[in-house]
Amino acid sequence: MSRLATKLNVFVRLSDDERTCLDGLEAERIRIRRGGELVHEGQVGHKAYILQFGWACSFKLLPDGGRQIIRFPIGGDLMGLRGLLLRTSDHSFSALTDIVVSSVEATRLAGVFDQFPRLGAAILWAASREEAMVVEHLVSVGRRSAVERTAHFFLELSERLRLVGLGTQEQFKCPLNQYVLADALGLSAIHVNRVLRTLRERRFMTLRDRIVHIHDPDGMKMLAGYQEIEGRIFDTSGSKRIRAEAN
């Protein structure tokens, strides 16, 4: 089963037809070298991509040369769905390692929607999940301190990687350097360095030689106010109200 099918299968049990349809989408494979760009802002390519192997990032550039990284797609993630629907991509994609992607053309995707409506819903679901992560990212950058934010980031990353079998909660490969992290976390690279140091000194986690070790997951979750992705998605245990003050 293709990567995307595996992912969507969690949402709706796919029929054989639906599955082959998805497999067809991922047939063509392209290799891109580390540092290469798939899409850049403003490009009018009617294509989306499914990341098969490697790490990428999506980001926006600012007039002053600054950059904000939005997301780090990993295996099985969709890239550039929005660029497809909105005619013109509103952000760029770049390969952080050598990667393999399959490209999906707009027309074909539209065909899928017509033929298999349920796949449309499933893709919407996947997109929603990814939007939820962007929202969490926004919360981090807006309201968490640098240390909390960084801790939160690595916890989420660890869980995402674990879910696709690329690591455990305690340890995983992570090819992100401090400059890339800085652009993701809304910090300077220098401050990322200091933050990583305090996380190390406080025995929460270590990032060394492209490998993350999380020594104290529970402590870090406490520190970061982290809520599991699975909990965010499937929890039906009811509401734990905190307090909501409406102005």
Partner DNA sequence: CGGGAGCTTGATGGACCTCAATCCCTGTGG
Partner DNA sequence: CCACAGGGATTGAGGTCCATCAAGCTCCCG
Interface residue list for DNA (CB under 7 A): 145-147, 177-179, 186-191, 193-194, 196-197, 247
Cβ 141 to DNA, closest distance in Å?
A: 10
CB closer to its own copies out of 114 and 218 = 114
Of 19-27, 123-131, 157-165, 212-220, the window that binds its own copies (rule: CB under 8 A) is 123-131
Q: In terms of Cα–Cα distance, which of 167, 77, 177, 183 is closest to 130?
A: 77
Tokens 């970061």, residue?
224
CB atoms within 10 A of CB 200: 15
Cβ 103 to DNA, closest distance in Å?
A: 27
Of 62-70, 159-167, 201-209, 212-220, the window that binds its own copies (rule: CB under 8 A) is 62-70
107 contacts which partner out of DNA, its own copies, none, CB within 5 to 8 A by kind?
Answer: none
Q: In terms of Cα–Cα distance, which of 28, 42, 35 is closest to 57?
A: 35
d(CA 4, CA 49): 11
Q: At what angle do helices 178-185 and 146-163 cross, to 10 degrees?
A: 110
CB atoms within 10 A of CB 51: 24
CB closer to its own copies out of 168 and 190 = 190
194 contacts which partner out of its own copies, DNA, none, CB within 5 to 8 A by kind?
Answer: DNA
